[in-house]
A and B are shown apart, each in its own frame.
Chain A
Amino acid sequence: MQSKNFSFLKMIVFLIFFLVVLTFFLIIYIIPAMKEYKTNEKVLKKYERLHKKQLHDIKVLQAKINMLQKKYKNDIKRYNQPFDKDDFSSFVKNYIHDPSIKEKKSKSQDKVFVLEGNIDDISDFYRFSEELNNYPSIVKITFPITIKKEEKSYYIKLSVTVINKKLKKAL
């Protein structure tokens, strides 16, 4: 009878010891590790989603670039085309006789030139302003403009602004 009680007591002691060991490992080691695992899993899933979204965005932007490259091909080319004063002078000669092109000091980021010369008829100026839109660089006629009638021709003085990415002065 005494031996049976002793065995039962021993079993209870071992069981308690086992539970203590189990609780110790669970509380000290397994549960924190599991918590970290779950947090990491969440963070990783968040990163994965973000990465996928960014890859999708990049794909969309790339497609947009391809579309814009085709659509604005000419405008992009004109804006990036380095401005060649001699070439512009040859272009101007088709419409204005003996042109003089001088650079004007300007506060703006773009380069401004003063253009002077003579035209046979006012329609030459119209043609000039039309064809300027097809010139390899972006050139805009700006004020002031003076047109004066002379004996056989018209004297014309105007400003042109060259809008070019590479010409932009540092701010």
Chain B
Amino acid sequence: MYSFIAPRKKTTIDTFSYMWLIFIVLTSILLIGVGLYIDGENGKFNIYKVEYKEKIEQDKQKRLTLQKKINGYKLSYKKSKESSMANNTLKTGLQNLLLFIPDEIKINKLQLDKYDVKIYGITDSPKTYKLLLEPPLKSIFDSTRVGFTKKDDGTYLFSSYNKIKRKRHAK
């Protein structure tokens, strides 16, 4: 057999398939590119996340330090005021107590404690004490007791024990 025309060149892939394959490959490359870009962004995000975590931790520590400082300042103020108040209250308390002592009664010794006051002194008579000093003491303290000892000169030594209840003191 002999042919008079030259045979047509045949390619393994025709143009149609070739175009499809190029399209698919290009799409795949594009998708991989998009994927890589998103991965890159995710990587950046992870770095930012670590940085932010560190910053947040530093901020937290700084905040705690500042808060401690504030508490320290508040404590200084509280302690100073408490102390001033205690000193002033003590002074006023003593002043008020001594105001109650009438001229007829002489005080020899005063013992002040947190919940009680002991007063030692001299009075003309137990009646004078009971009339002039006992009523004001009774108005301040919850309980008041007194003992008298007669002296050679006719006057009386007295020792008065006055107590305030703890609950009332706390108020």
Which A residues are within 8 Å of any B CB, using their own CB? 7, 10-11, 14, 17-18, 21-22, 25-26, 29-30, 33-34, 36-37, 40-41, 43-44, 47-48, 50-51, 54-55, 57-58, 61-62, 64-65, 68-69, 71-72, 74-76, 78-80, 122, 125-126, 129-130, 132-133, 138-149, 163, 165
Q: Do B45 and A62 have beta carbons less than 8 Å apart?
A: no
10 A-B pairs besides A75-B73, A75-B80 with CB distance below 8 A are A10-B17, A51-B59, A58-B59, A76-B77, A79-B75, A80-B76, A130-B87, A130-B91, A133-B88, A138-B79
Q: Which of A47, A78, A145 contacts B112 (CB 8 A)?
A: A145
B128 at the interface (CB under 8 A from A): no
Among B32, B52, B77, point to the contact of A44 (Cβ < 8 A): B52
Within the complex, the shortest CB–CB distance from B26 to chain A, in Å, comes to 11
Q: Report whether B53 and A47 are in contact in the complex, using a CB–CB cutoff of 8 Å.
A: yes
B62 in the interface (beta carbon within 8 A): yes
Nearest 4 pairs of A and B residues by beta carbon: A79-B76, A40-B45, A54-B59, A75-B80
Assess whether B153 is interfacial by the CB under 8 Å rule.
no
Are B49 and A126 within 8 A (Cβ)? no
Residue in contact with B38 in the complex, picked from A17, A37, A47, CB distance below 8 Å: A37
18 residue pairs of the A-B complex, CB under 8 angstroms, read A10-B16, A17-B24, A18-B27, A33-B39, A33-B42, A40-B49, A58-B62, A58-B63, A61-B66, A68-B74, A76-B73, A125-B91, A126-B91, A140-B82, A140-B86, A143-B114, A145-B90, A149-B107
Is residue B145 contacting chain A, with contact meaning CB distance below 8 A?
Answer: no
**Which of B41, B48, B73, B86 sits near A65, CB closer than 8 Å?**
B73
Residues on B with beta carbons closer than 8 Å to the beta carbon of A37 = 38, 41-42, 45
Chain B interface, >50% SS class: helix
Give bound CA distance, A93 to B70, whole Å.
36
B-side interface residues toward A, CB under 8 Å? 16-17, 20, 23-24, 27-28, 31-32, 34-35, 38-39, 41-42, 45-46, 48-49, 52-53, 55-56, 59-60, 62-63, 66-67, 69-70, 72-77, 79-84, 86-88, 90-91, 94-95, 98, 107-114
Q: Is the CB of A69 within 8 A of B91?
A: no
**Shortest beta-carbon distance, B59 to chain A, in Å?**
4
**With A10-B16, A61-B70, A126-B91 in contact, do A26 and B31 touch (Cβ < 8 Å)?**
yes
A57 and B65 alpha carbons, distance in the complex (Å): 12
Of all chain A residues, which has the CB nearest B67?
A61
Contact yes or no, B109 A149, CB < 8 A: yes
Would A22 and B27 count as touching, CB distance under 8 A?
Answer: yes
- A18–B24 touching, CB < 8 Å: yes
Contacts of A145 in B (CB 8 A): 90, 110-113
* Chain A residue at minimum C-beta to C-beta distance from B65: A61
B63-A25 in contact (CB<8A): no
Q: Which residues of B contact A62 (CB under 8 A)?
A: 66
CB distance from A36 to the nearest CB of B (A): 5
- The answer on a CB contact under 8 Å between A30 and B87 is no
